[in-house]
C-alpha cells in the first residue's frame, strides 16, 4: 500500500467531514474557474480585431455610447447623421463598405430593438469568419424584415414556407421609440428572413428594410426643421445641393393640416454608418486596413461626426472597469479557496487527537516519522487537489449551464468548452495550499510519542 492509498483510506474513514471540506475547495475553485472562463470570453470578444466592420461613424459624442448602441443595442442613440452624409461615405473612394443603421423603434411583442438597414449588412461577418445564415428570402420589399433567432423563438415568428402554404409569414407592428414610447405605428412588416443563432446581439434584433423605416409615418420631420439641422451640420455647404443652401427653412414650414408624403434623401437621417476601408488585394484579412488610421484621424479633426473603431472603447472599458472587476473577483475567489484550505487544516488538525493511536500503531509497525508526516500531507493534498479537480469540472459545467442564458440575456457568445490558461495555475496553487495546511497536522503526527499514545 502506498502513501496515497493509506491517506485515501483515512479520508474515507471520515467521509462526511472530508467531503464537506473538499466540497468547500471545489466551490471556491468552481467560482474562480467560472470567473476566469467568462472573463476570458468577454475579454476575447471585446479584444477581437474585427466584428465585420472597422469603423462605426456616428454623430459626435461618446464613442462608447455609439458602440454600445450600434453593436450591443444598449443605451439610447446619440443624435442622428444626415442620410446625405452616409451617401458621402458610401461614395468615398477609400471606403469599401458603408452600411447605414437607423435605430429607435421596438417591436410591440417582446420589445426587441428595430434597426433599419440594407441587405449589405448581412454580407458582412458578424464575428471573425462567421457569416450570417438566413432562412427565408431576405429583403424583397420595403416592409420586409429579417429577425434574430431569439426574436423568432420568443415571439414564435416565422417566414413563409412554400411547402405549407397555410403557414404564412409572421407580421408585426412597431412601437415608436423615444418620448412617445407607447405610440404604435400603423405600418405592418412581414418576416422574410430568420437568422440562425449567432450568439450576438443580432439574435435579439429585428432588422427592417431602410426604405420601410423611412416610410413609417412619424419618422419624417417637418422639412423646415430638417433643413435647419442639415445646415447646422453642413456649415460649409450641403454637398451637391446648393439649392438647399439658398433655401430659407421657414419657407418649408408645413401649413396647418398639411401632411408630409415621402421623404427626399436630404430629409432622411441615419443613426450610424458601419464602414470598412478599402484594402490592397493581398492584405491580411485579420489586419486593419492601411488607411484606417488616416481615416479615423480625419474624423477626429472634424466637428461633425466621429468614427470609432468598435473594439477600442470596449477594450478601454474592459481594461478600466471589467478588468478591475475581474481582479476583485479573482482575489475574492482566491480568498474563498484559502478559507477552504483553512477548513481542511481545521478538519485534519481536529482529527489528529483521535488519530494519535492510529499513528502510533503505524509507527510501532515500523512506519518512520517522515512516513506518517507524508500520509497526513497526502491527505491534505488529496482533499485540496481532489476538490480542485472537481471544482474545475464544476466550473466548466456551470459555464456550460449558463452559456445559453448569458447568450440570450447579453448576446455574449460563450464557448462552454473554453479553457483559460490561468486555470493551469489553479492546481499548482492548490498543491502549495495543501502543503501549507498539511504541515502543522503533519508535524503533529511526526512528533507523536509512540509509547505514550499506545499506552493511552
Partner 1 sequence: MSLLLERVEKSYREPDGTPLPILDIENFQLGDAEQVALVGESGGGKTTLLNVISGISTPDSGRVVIDGVEINALPEVARDRFRAERIGFVFQTFNLLAAFSALENVLLGMSFGGGKADRVRALELLDRVGLSKRASHRPGQLSVGEQQRVAVARALANRPSLLLADEPTASVDIANQENILTLIREACLADNVSLLLVTHSPDIASRFGRVARLDEINRVAQTTAAAGGPA
Residue ranges binding partner 1 (CB under 8 A)? 1-2, 6, 9-10, 12-13, 357-358, 361-369, 371, 450-451, 454-455
Q: Where are the beta strands (DSSP E) in 252-390?
A: 269-270, 272-277, 305-308
Cβ proximity to partner 1, 281 vs 366, nearer residue: 366
| Grid cell listed for 336 | 474563498
C-beta closer to partner 1: residue 286 or 449: 449
The minimum distance between CB 402 and partner 1, in angstroms, equals 39
Q: Specify the residue, 12 or 133, whose C-beta has the smaller distance to partner 1.
A: 12
Minimum distance of partner 1 from residue 363's CB (angstroms):
7
Coil/strand/helix, residue 169: coil
Task: Please give the grid coordinates belonging to residue 127.
Answer: 464575428
Q: How far is the CB of 349 from partner 1 (least distance, A)?
A: 18
Cβ–Cβ under 8 Å, residues 118 and 134: no
Nearer to partner 1, 2 or 235 (CB): 2
Whichever of 332 and 361 has its CB closer to partner 1, that residue is: 361
| Least Å from the CB of residue 446 to partner 1 | 11
In this structure, are strands 130-131 and 269-270 parallel, antiparallel, or unpaired?
unpaired
The cell for 451 is 509509547
Q: Which is nearer to partner 1, 338 or 454 (CB)?
A: 454
Q: Residue 451: name the closest of 331, 334, 357, 330 by CA.
A: 357
CB of residue 370 to partner 1, shortest distance in Å: 8
Nearest approach in angstroms of CB 450 to partner 1 is 5
For 425-446, the DSSP string reads: GHHHHHHHHHHHHHHHHHHHHH
Least Å distance between CB 25 and partner 1?
Answer: 22
Helix (H, G, I), strand (E, B) or coil at 147: strand
Identify which of residues 211 and 371 has a Cβ nearer to partner 1 in the complex.
371
CB of 364 to partner 1, least distance (A): 5
Whichever of 11 and 45 has its CB closer to partner 1, that residue is: 11
Residue with Cβ nearer partner 1 (230 or 377): 377
CB of 11 to partner 1, least distance (A): 9
Q: Which residues contact 280 (CB under 8 A, 6 or more apart)?
A: 290
Those residues with Cβ within 8 angstroms of residue 238's Cβ, 6 or more apart along the chain or in another chain: 84, 230, 231, 244, 245, 266
Per-residue DSSP letters for 252-290? GPPPTTPPP----GGG-EESEEEEEE---TTS-TTSPPT
Q: How far is CA 244 from CA 79, 102, 224, 250, 308, in A?
A: 22, 24, 11, 12, 30
CA distance 176 to 183: 5
3-state secondary structure of 341: helix
C-alpha cell at 432: 502549495
Minimum gap (Å) between residue 5 Cβ and partner 1: 9
d(CA 204, CA 271): 19
When the beta carbons of 176 and 363 are compared against partner 1, the nearer one is 363
Amino acid at each position: 500500500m502506498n502513501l496515497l492509498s493509506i491517506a485515501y483510506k483515512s479520508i474515507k474513514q471520515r467521509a462526511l467531514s472530508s467531503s464537506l471540506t473538499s466540497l468547500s475547495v471545489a466551490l471556491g475553485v468552481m467560482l474562480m474557474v467560472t470567473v476566469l472562463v467568462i472573463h476570458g470570453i468577454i475579454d476575447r470578444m471585446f479584444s477581437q480585431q474585427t466584428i465585420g466592420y472597422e469603423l462605426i461613424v456616428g454623430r459626435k459624442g461618446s464613442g462608447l455610447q455609439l458602440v454600445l448602441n450600434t453593436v450591443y443595442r444598449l443605451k439610447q442613440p446619440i443624435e442622428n447623421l444626415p442620410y446625405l452624409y452616409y451617401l458621402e461615405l458610401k461614395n468615398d473612394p477609400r471606403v469599401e463598405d458603408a452600411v447605414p443603421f437607423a435605430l429607435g423603434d421596438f417591436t410591440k411583442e417582446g420589445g426587441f430593438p428595430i434597426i433599419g438597414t440594407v441587405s449589405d449588412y448581412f454580407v458582412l461577418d458578424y464575428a471573425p469568419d462567421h457569416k450570417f445564415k438566413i432562412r427565408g428570402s431576405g429583403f424583397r420589399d420595403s416592409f420586409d424584415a429579417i429577425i434574430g433567432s431569439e426574436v423568432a423563438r420568443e415571439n414564435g415568428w416565422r417566414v413563409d414556407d412554400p411547402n405549407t402554404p397555410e403557414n404564412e409569414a409572421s407580421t408585426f407592428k412597431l412601437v415608436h421609440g423615444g418620448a412617445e414610447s407607447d405610440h404604435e405605428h400603423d405600418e405592418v412588416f412581414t418576416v422574410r428572413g430568420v437568422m440562425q443563432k449567432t450568439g450576438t446581439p443580432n439574435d435579439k434584433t429585428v432588422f427592417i428594410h431602410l426604405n420601410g423605416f423611412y416610410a413609417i409615418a412619424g419618422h419624417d420631420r417637418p422639412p423646415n426643421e430638417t433643413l435647419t439641422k442639415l445646415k447646422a451640420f453642413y456649415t460649409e455647404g450641403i454637398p451637391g445641393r446648393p439649392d438647399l443652401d439658398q433655401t430659407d427653412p421657414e419657407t418649408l414650414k408645413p401649413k396647418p393640416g398639411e401632411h408630409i408624403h415621402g421623404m427626399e434623401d436630404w430629409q432622411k437621417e441615419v443613426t450610424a454608418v458601419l464602414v470598412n476601408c478599402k484594402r490592397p488585394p493581398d492584405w491580411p484579412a485579420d489586419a486593419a486596413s492601411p488607411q484606417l488610421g488616416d481615416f479615423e484621424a480625419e474624423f477626429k479633426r472634424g466637428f461633425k461626426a466621429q468614427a470609432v473603431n468598435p473594439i477600442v472603447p470596449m477594450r478601454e472599458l474592459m481594461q478600466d472597469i471589467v478588468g478591475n472587476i475581474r481582479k476583485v473577483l479573482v482575489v475574492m475567489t482566491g480568498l474563498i479557496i484559502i478559507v477552504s484550505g483553512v477548513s481542511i487544516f481545521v478538519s485534519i488538525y481536529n482529527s489528529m487527537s483521535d488519530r494519535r493511536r492510529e499513528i502510533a500503531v503505524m509507527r510501532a509497525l515500523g512506519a518512520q516519522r517522515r512516513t506518517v508526516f507524508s500520509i497526513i500531507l497526502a491527505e491534505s493534498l488529496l482533499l485540496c487537489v481532489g476538490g480542485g479537480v472537481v471544482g474545475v469540472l464544476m466550473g466548466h459545467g456551470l459555464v456550460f449551464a449558463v452559456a445559453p442564458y448569458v447568450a440570450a440575456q447579453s448576446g455574449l457568445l460563450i464557448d462552454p468548452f473554453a479553457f483559460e490558461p490561468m486555470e493551469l495555475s489553479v492546481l499548482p496553487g492548490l498543491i502549495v495550499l495543501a502543503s501549507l495546511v498539511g504541515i502543522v497536522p503533519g508535524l503533529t503526527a511526526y512528533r507523536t510519542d509512540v509509547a505514550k499514545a499506545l499506552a493511552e
